[in-house]
């Protein structure tokens, strides 16, 4: 059984090294949609996989941290990083290049940890975030699956400190 929850945020970024120069050389923004898919092996006492009200606060709070902020790669020039830090109250510094694929992996990583740390008391089954789908546009998305976190290439992109938030977000 799989259930889905949709979250939204708006943000700007630059995707360095991509083929499209418009994206690689310019700050631009998106209205992101993040779909979180949670899988269970049984229904709880209310015949639900999971009462999303239980997860709403922590997952929503984490995703809201990215809203109305500029996101930048920590490999940007120091001049660019300082400009953002000095002129934006809300920014997110990431240790990965800011593609939809990277966002999908990162959200999967952190939301998995949020779910693992949660305590449930309504006879819930084994719960896991089976995938996260990140839409940058209405036409395309990137989706990361739980087994991607075991892939050595993908695993190297996300870790406990791959994202840091400005004081304006914390």
Whether 23 sits among the annotated catalytic residues: the reply is yes
pLDDT band at 71 (very low <50, low <70, confident <90, very high): very high
Record the pTM.
0.95
Structural domains of the chain, ranges and CATH numbers in brackets: 2-165 (3.30.479.10)
pLDDT tens for 83-99 read 999 999 999 999 999 99
What is the residue-averaged pLDDT of the chain? 95
Whether 28 sits among the annotated catalytic residues: the reply is no
140: closest CA among 3, 27, 16, 32? 32
Active-site entry in 70, 71, 135, 136: 136
Q: What is the pLDDT of residue 157?
A: 93
Does residue 14 register a pLDDT over 90? yes
Q: What is the pLDDT of residue 24?
A: 80
Whether 10 sits among the annotated catalytic residues: the reply is no
Active-site entry in 13, 23, 70, 124: 23
**Percent of the chain predicted with pLDDT > 90:** 89
Over residues 38-44, the mean pLDDT reads 97
Active-site entry in 18, 68, 85, 88: 68
pLDDT band at 57 (very low <50, low <70, confident <90, very high): confident
pLDDT tens for 100-124 read 999 999 999 999 999 999 989 999 9
């Amino acid at each position: 059984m799989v259930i889905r929850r949709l979250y939204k945020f708006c943000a700007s970024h630059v995707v360095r090294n991509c083929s499209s120069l418009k994206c690689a050389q310019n700050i631009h923004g998106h209205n992101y949609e993040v779909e979180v898919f949670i899988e269970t092996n049984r229904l709880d006492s209310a015949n639900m996989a999971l009462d999303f009200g239980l997860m709403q606060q922590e997952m929503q709070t984490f995703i809201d941290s990215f809203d109305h902020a500029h996101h930048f790669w920590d490999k940007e020039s120091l001049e660019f990083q300082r400009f953002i830090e000095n002129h934006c109250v809300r920014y997110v510094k990431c240790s990965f290049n800011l593609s939809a694929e990277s966002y999908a992996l990162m959200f999967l990583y952190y939301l998995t940890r949020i779910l693992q740390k949660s305590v449930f008391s309504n006879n819930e089954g084994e719960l896991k975030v089976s995938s996260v789908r990140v839409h940058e546009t209405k036409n395309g998305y990137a989706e990361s699956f739980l087994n991607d976190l075991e892939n050595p290439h993908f695993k190297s992109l996300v870790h406990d400190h791959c994202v840091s938030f400005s004081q304006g977000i914390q």
